[in-house]
Chains A and B, each alone.
Chain A
């Protein structure tokens, strides 16, 4: 089980301090939601944990190891990331996109993930024909098909209908029960996040 610790983190983007002195301990083997209104720096925070953007001060560690000291490959072995926006201009099939760049082990799990996210019907369809919610599920499938200790998800439920939300939450809970650490960014209110074990409000800091 992997523990994520964020200490005194500050992120400046475009001259604006989007995260200022942020502290959090993300429990290992649990589902944690980071919430806050638009512009509160939630996505920047997730991008920094994912290693996508540099931060200006403070530290982010996975089990005591600083994220910035890990190579790209080491980061990829520890954490898997679901990003928010997704658009496609090439007509790869859904299955092709999920399989791109994956290791042999992840490739064996593609059929299973297609079933759990109810994507079998459009698995051979072109990704350019998908609705927003379906495209987001492709992105979720790409990340969850990989076996990692940590899963980072930026608003995974934003474009989903009720049935899909339930399916995604069930899948995340299953991963948590297997000991995975799950961090979700959300802008919804706390009452809708009863499925999370820990909620961190960016405004409370």
Chain B
């Protein structure tokens, strides 16, 4: 509990720092931050509260969603290298959004895009799931499905010549620049409901770590647990992909770092991984938008650059034992 309070306390600190920095230098930045309801016509105030604040909130929520998605992916496949990208879920969500955008049904960052992403994510995941007969097969088939769907998305993006093609392509590499305040009202309830459901099934994910046969011997169906877990996973991935595109590495790294800090029990792993995911994405996005103004750096590269060394360091420090 003490450890959790400690890392949770880092979140508001990081959030405030993220509000304070950005492409534009804002004069008296802290007085604007600590007086959110004054002076709303002031341009500095608007930069902080209308442009940076939604983005900071989105980074926290999306990072948390991906942190939980990683726990679900690794727990349900009983495999330390699993993440939503490996299961084909992320690529399915991307293709779903792309189809919606190309047929002019939805725009990126809208509620409609979330629905298209959710359908794509669920279909891809269920497709991988229905072909696989074991957790290991699932990973292998998931990698295949993911590769096929990513290739279709990539080829389509390369072939289209529309005015909005650039923004679609920008989105597909992952960016929080297209986040709208409206999307927060989709992210927040999905995050709350999905994390509660994940917390509810967490003990069955512990049981899955003993292998499918042990689960069966005690009277449960491993595939049913997996299916529930994938439904939550696909929803989480759908909201993140439809609003900010594919963000590399975060869902893989956050659970490992969380396990290193507080052990493998999924009930505690879920909140820990959520906070760690939020911190990494917030850090990466703040760097992405303020390091090289006016350019935005690709966030996926930064999450890799921040997440991977922490992951390697934690595993090295943990010795030869997976925690």
> What is the interface of chain A, defined by CB distance below 8 A to chain B?
50-52, 72-73, 75-77, 80-81, 83, 88-92, 96-97, 100-102, 126, 128-129, 142-143, 146
A45 nearest CB across to chain B (Å): 15
Question: Is the CB–CB distance between B322 and A90 below 8 Å?
Answer: yes
Interface residue? B217 (CB, 8 A):
yes
A91 touching B207 in the complex, CB below 8 Å, given contacts A50-B217, A52-B216, A81-B217: no
B322 near A89 (CB under 8 angstroms)? Answer: yes
Q: How far is the CA of A73 from the CA of B210 in the complex (A)?
A: 18
- The 9 A-B pairs of least Cβ separation, nearest first, read A76-B219, A90-B264, A101-B207, A73-B219, A81-B217, A101-B218, A91-B323, A89-B322, A128-B321
A10 CB, nearest partner CB in chain B, Å: 22
Task: Find the A residue at minimum CB distance from B78.
Answer: A89
User: B321 — which chain A residues lie within 8 A by C-beta?
Assistant: 91, 126, 128-129
Q: Which residues on the A side are within 8 Å of B219 (C-beta)?
A: 72-73, 75-77
In the complex formed, the residue of B with least CB distance to A93 is B263
Q: How many residues of B are counted as interface, with CB atoms below 8 angstroms from the partner's CB atoms?
A: 23
Contact between B322 and A97 (Cβ–Cβ < 8 Å)?
A: no
- Asked if B265 lies at the interface with its beta carbon under 8 angstroms from chain A, I say yes
Interface: B259 (CB within 8 A): yes
Residues of chain B within 8 A of A51, CB atoms compared = 216
B215 touches A101 (CB 8 A): yes
CB neighbours of B259 from chain A (8 A)? 90-91
Q: List 20 A-B contacts (CB under 8 A).
A: A51-B216, A76-B217, A81-B213, A83-B214, A89-B209, A90-B264, A90-B323, A91-B323, A92-B265, A96-B265, A100-B210, A101-B204, A101-B207, A101-B215, A101-B220, A102-B218, A126-B323, A128-B322, A129-B321, A143-B217
Chain A residues with CB below 8 A from B214, complex form: 83, 101, 142
- Measured in the bound complex, the distance between the Cα atoms of B210 and A51 in whole Å is 17
Complexed CA–CA distance, A85 and B251 (Å): 31
Q: Does B181 touch A at the CB level, under 8 Å?
A: no
Q: Chain A residues with Cβ under 8 A from B265's Cβ?
A: 92, 96
Report the Cα distance A184→B259, complex, angstroms.
Answer: 37
B209-A72 in contact (CB<8A)? no
Given contacts A83-B213, A91-B321, A100-B206, 17 further A-B contacts (CB under 8 A): A72-B221, A76-B217, A76-B218, A77-B219, A81-B213, A88-B209, A89-B80, A89-B209, A90-B259, A92-B263, A97-B210, A100-B203, A101-B203, A101-B204, A101-B214, A101-B215, A142-B214
- Shortest C-beta distance, A171 to chain B (Å), equals 19
Interface contact A52-B323, CB-CB below 8 Å: no
Chain A proximity of B251: nearest CB distance (Å):
18
Least Cβ–Cβ distance between A200 and chain B, in angstroms? 22
Closest beta carbon of chain B to A54's beta carbon, Å: 13
Chain A neighbourhood of B207, CB < 8 A? 100-101
0/1 per residue, B52-79, Cβ < 8 Å to A? 0000000000000000000000000000
Closest to B216 in A: A72
Within 8 A of A (CB), among B78-113: 80
- Complex Cα–Cα for A181 and B203 (A): 30
The CA of A92 and the CA of B202, in the complex, are separated in Å by 14
Q: Which of B209, B213, B217, B218 has a CB less than 8 Å from the CB of A90?
A: B209
Chain A residue at smallest Cβ distance from B263: A91
Assembled-state Cα–Cα distance A146/B214 (Å): 13
Chain A, residue nearest B204 (CB): A101
